[in-house]
Amino acid sequence: MTATNLKSGERIDQLYSQNIQIIQSPEVFAFSLDAVLLADFAKPLAKASSQTVDLCAGNGAVGLFMSSKTRGKIAEVEIQPRLADMARRSVTLNHLDDRMTVYEGDLANVTDWIPKDSVDVVTCNPPYFADLPDSQKNPNEYLAIARHEITTNLATVVATTSGLLKMGGKAYFVHRPDRLLQLLDLMAANRLAPKRIRLVHPKPGKEANMVLVEAIKDGKPGGLRFLAPLMVYDQAGKYTAEVQALLYGQS
């Protein structure tokens, strides 16, 4: 793919740690660190017969960043046509058309494309903010939908995730810590047992601003582990070694 294949306002960025290129647009959508962290936290099955689904896929970042961890199929589900188109072109850019498929539509209708109870791993980086009457939304429609629960909500995301997963399949979410209890309650109501939680802090001494959660469908109760917290920046304002490696590879 060359610059002539890009649409107005688009650029090609690279996750250097994985040699993955991705089409971005600050006017439409660009992935953030949470996508990189979710893709790293998730554990898709390596076998070629496995099926992974990424909901709220945006421009395809999470699925693309997981592609090196599995030989199986990866499906991405995105409701915004412009973002789904960017994701498809990024899949082609990385020569992954044989393993990755982008479905454009409401994730609540995902079983129109992917059979219920058939998926090994589901990931989701959902909109973080509830669509409240007094909530301030980005005037950019693309960004507003990506950040606020305008076209879906956490309850639908969790129910859809559980519906897709096989018994024993795993779900991975990234969200805001202030919604963790809601996420755990919804998981319990949808046969998802939390097994690993990791808090992400912007720097030492600052409150966590992201949380990563792993769950198993119909998993045994108990056994929840809280992993060591992840610091994004050190006290000097530089990326910590772990985040530096995730973005740029080992030095």
Q: Are 186 and 158 in contact (CB under 8 A)?
A: yes
Above 50 in pLDDT, residue 141?
A: yes
pLDDT for the residue numbered 140:
52
Domain that holds residue 102: 3-248
Identify the band that residue 192 occupies on the pLDDT scale cut at 50, 70 and 90.
Answer: very high
Above 60 in pLDDT, residue 144?
A: no
Per-residue pLDDT tens over the stretch 31-45: 999 999 999 999 999
Above 90 in pLDDT, residue 223?
A: yes
Strands 192-201 and 225-226: parallel
Angle, helix 241-248 to helix 33-41, in steps of 10 degrees: 90
CB atoms within 10 A of CB 35: 25
Above 70 in pLDDT, residue 157?
A: yes
Above 50 in pLDDT, residue 211?
A: yes
Return d(Cα 43, Cα 98) in angstroms, integer.
Answer: 21
Alpha helices in 52-189 (DSSP H): 61-66, 81-93, 141-147, 154-164, 180-189
Domain count of the fold of the chain: 1
Query: Is the full-model pTM beyond 0.85?
Result: yes
DSSP 8-class letter at 219: P
Above 80 in pLDDT, residue 196?
A: yes
Identify the band that residue 29 occupies on the pLDDT scale cut at 50, 70 and 90.
Answer: confident
Q: What is the DSSP string of 1-23?
A: --GGGSPTT-EEEEETTTTEEEE
Structure-model confidence comparison of residues 127 and 49, the more confident one: 49
Return d(Cα 177, Cα 225) in angstroms, integer.
Answer: 16
- Average model confidence (pLDDT) across the chain: 91
Residue burial 69-83, b: 16+ Cβ < 10 Å; e: rest: bbebbbbbbbbbebb
CATH number of the domain within which 72 lies: 3.40.50.150
Residue burial 102-112, b: 16+ Cβ < 10 Å; e: rest: bbbeebbebee
Residue 156 structure tokens: 């639908």
